[in-house]
């Protein structure tokens, strides 16, 4: 049978290689139901102490809350669906980025740092335009999850060379497609679909190497530029139309924006 993104991701998730993925999928499904009930979600979370502990740690971090939540019921009732979805995204990202990716030659902290930089950059860009900050944040935070699937496949192929990063527009796509037929963006979008994340997040992650068209894609593009700059990754001339839209054409404007991102990242990085 020919491999598809769906079958590759399903096989990856079945191995248990992504911590908490089954629980995250369950709670995402609950959050998106029309008859969503906060009490039902709190009851479910009480059956999963690991997920509950992580949700509480993030909910009580400075990045998400100025007033601590005493119990999971308090967190569920106070934070609401949108904020909880953001928190589950961070819990999933943090749990998945606990080991290095050998195929890419990246240690775990480098992957996490790239994800945080992109998330904060995309969210601040969305704020400038009055766009959906939460969608931008989640896309930035989770945009590299497809690399986990690629890395798993790479480890099965003895003697395979490390994947080569080109620039922000192409990244590792050529080597990824040679290895498994798909790039990490396609696999990442499919993984988030199977885990029940919102369609806007799924489609933007899956399209990250295409020209940015939607508002979320354009804020995400800025987040990726931020990542490229902060992580010393090579990048060609950025899309000037998008840069003008976000008032970041001048070097001084972009440097000031990067300073805001660095400041915001300090809070984010302290959230478990």
The string of pLDDT tens digits covering residues 117-165 is: 999 999 999 999 998 888 898 899 889 999 999 999 999 886 778 999 9
- Compare 152 and 90 and report the one with higher pLDDT: 152
Residue 66 pLDDT class (50, 70, 90 cuts): low
Which pLDDT belongs to residue 88?
A: 79
Global pTM?
A: 0.84
Of 57-61, 134-138, 268-272, the least confident: 268-272
Q: With 80 as the cut, is the pLDDT of residue 79 above it?
A: no
Query: Is 219's pLDDT higher than 70?
Result: yes
114 against 75, higher pLDDT: 114
List the one residue out of 98, 181, 105 whose CA is nearest residue 145. 98
Query: How is the chain split into domains, by residue range?
Result: 20-97, 100-272
User: How high is the pLDDT of residue 90?
Assistant: 79
| Predicted local confidence at residue 272, as pLDDT | 47
pLDDT of 31: 78
Calculate the average pLDDT of the chain. Answer: 86
Q: What is the 3-state secondary structure (H, E, C) of the chain?
A: CCCCHHHHHHHHHHCCCCCCHHHHHHHHHHHHCCCCCHHHHHHHHHCCHHHHHHHHHHHCCCCCCCCCCCCHHHHHHHHHHHHHHHHHHHHHHHHHCCCCECCCCECHHHHHHHHHHHHHHHHHHHHHHCCCHHHHHHHHHHCCCHHHHHHHHHHCCCCCCCCCCCCCCCCCHHHHHHHHCCCHHHHHHHHHHHCCCCHHHHHHHHCCCCCCCCHHHHHHHHHHHHHHHHCCCCCCCCCHHHHHHCCCCCHHHHHHHHHHHHHHHHHHHHCC
pLDDT exceeds 70 at position 167: yes
Which tens digits make up the pLDDT trace of 246-257?
999 999 999 999
Compute the average pLDDT of residues 86-107. Answer: 84
Residue 241 has pLDDT above 70, yes or no: yes
In degrees, to the nearest 5, what angle opens at C-alpha 76 toward C-alphas 270 and 202? Answer: 70
Q: Which CATH class is domain 100-272?
A: mainly alpha
- If you average pLDDT over residues 81-103, what whole number do you get? 81
The closest of 155, 86, 159 to 119, measured between CA atoms, is 86
Confidence (pLDDT) at 65 = 63
Is the pLDDT score of 195 beyond 90?
no
pLDDT at 224: 95
What percent of the chain is modeled with pLDDT above 70? 94
* Lowest mean per-residue pLDDT among 154-163, 214-223, 231-240, 243-252: 231-240
Mean pLDDT over residues 33-46, rounded? 79
Mean pLDDT lowest for which of 74-78, 110-114, 225-229?
74-78
């Amino acid at each position: 049978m020919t491999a598809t993104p769906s079958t590759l991701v399903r096989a990856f998730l079945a191995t248990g290689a992504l911590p908490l993925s089954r629980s995250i999928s369950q709670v995402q499904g609950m959050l998106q139901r029309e008859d969503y009930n906060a009490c039902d979600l709190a009851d479910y979370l009480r059956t999963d102490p690991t997920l509950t502990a992580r949700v509480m740690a993030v909910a009580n971090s400075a990045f998400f809350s100025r007033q601590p939540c005493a119990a999971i019921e308090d967190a569920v009732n106070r934070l609401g669906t949108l904020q909880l979805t953001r928190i589950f995204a961070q819990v999933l990202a943090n749990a998945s980025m606990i080991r290095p990716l050998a195929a890419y030659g990246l240690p775990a902290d480098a992957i996490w740092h790239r994800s945080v930089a992109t998330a904060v950059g995309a969210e601040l860009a969305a704020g400038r335009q009055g766009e959906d900050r939460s969608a931008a944040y989640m896309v930035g935070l989770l945009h590299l999850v497809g690399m986990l699937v690629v890395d798993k496949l790479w480890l099965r192929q003895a003697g395979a060379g490390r994947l080569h990063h080109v620039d922000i527009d192409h990244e590792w796509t050529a080597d990824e497609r040679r290895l498994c037929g798909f790039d990490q963006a396609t696999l990442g979008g499919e993984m988030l679909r199977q885990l029940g994340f919102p369609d806007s997040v799924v489609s933007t992650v899956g399209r990250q190497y295409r020209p940015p068209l939607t508002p979320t894609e354009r804020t995400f593009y800025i987040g990726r530029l931020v990542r490229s700059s902060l992580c010393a990754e090579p990048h060609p001339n950025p899309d000037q139309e998008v840069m003008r839209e976000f008032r970041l054409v001048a070097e001084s404007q972009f440097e000031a924006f990067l300073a805001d991102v660095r400041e915001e990242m300090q809070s984010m990085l302290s959230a478990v």
